[in-house]
């Protein structure tokens, strides 16, 4: 336990040095958590402390995690890269303009599903609660409270016109760079596992 006390001290020193408002940490040994701790504030204004159960927004770091996890599931034979994401989620994931074209894991991960980043209200509301109560069905299903027709682009899934690239991005960026900035597809792919 002395090592964990030292870790606790080092975390606090690191937070002070780098002016970190809040963080959670955990030590995993043999696949089991042997220590967890919360430090600082999850919300300074409302004086909500960080606990070991605080949910943090990790933003685009999730894209690498999601892609790795999906490919591990594919390697284990638990899903296929060309599988309809709706089969895994338990509800249909379809561009309403192309209801006969399933949205696949590959399309979600390569940003060719047609999903656009039209979910600001959903993101803001889900971040105001910890843990979030909003569900992806609230956004993706037409009767969901966050659904909007702008969620889907005009192109058929898996075609160049279904790319999630926005016109505001500089045209001189390479295509892989432009399309890698979309989040809606990654969020949906992540929900499959």
Integer Rg of the chain from CA: 20
DSSP bridge pairs for 48: 43
Give the total residue count for the chain.
193
Identify whether the C-beta of residue 144 lies closer than 8 Å to the C-beta of residue 152: no
To the query of whether residue 33 is one of the catalytic residues in this protein, the response is no
How many other C-beta atoms lie within 10 A of the C-beta of residue 71? Answer: 14
C-alpha count within 13 angstroms, C-beta hemisphere, residue 186: 18
Q: Which of 6, 26, 33, 60 is catalytic?
A: 60
Rounded Cα–Cα distance for residues 50 and 27 (Å): 17
∠ CA(16), CA(52), CA(123), 5° rounding? 90
Measured CA to CA, the distance from residue 84 to residue 94 in angstroms comes to 10
Residues marked active site are found at 60
């Amino acid at each position: 336990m002395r090592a964990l006390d030292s870790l606790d001290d080092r975390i606090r020193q690191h937070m002070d040095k780098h002016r970190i408002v809040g963080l959670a940490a955990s030590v995993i040994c043999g696949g089991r958590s042997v220590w967890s701790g919360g430090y600082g504030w999850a919300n300074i204004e409302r004086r909500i402390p960080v606990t070991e159960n605080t949910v943090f927004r990790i933003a685009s770091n999730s894209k690498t995690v999601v892609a790795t996890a999906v490919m591990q599931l594919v390697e284990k034979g638990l899903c296929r890269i060309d599988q309809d994401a709706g089969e895994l989620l338990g509800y249909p994931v379809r561009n309403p303009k192309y209801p006969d074209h399933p949205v696949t894991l590959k399309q979600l991960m390569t940003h060719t599903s047609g999903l656009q980043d039209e979910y600001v209200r959903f993101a803001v509301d889900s971040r105001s609660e910890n843990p979030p109560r909003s569900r992806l069905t609230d956004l993706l299903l037409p009767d969901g409270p966050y659904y909007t027709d702008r969620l889907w682009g005009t192109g058929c899934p898996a075609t160049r016109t279904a790319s999630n690239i926005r016109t505001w991005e500089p045209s001189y960026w390479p295509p892989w760079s432009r399309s890698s900035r979309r989040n809606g597809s990654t969020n949906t792919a992540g929900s499959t596992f």
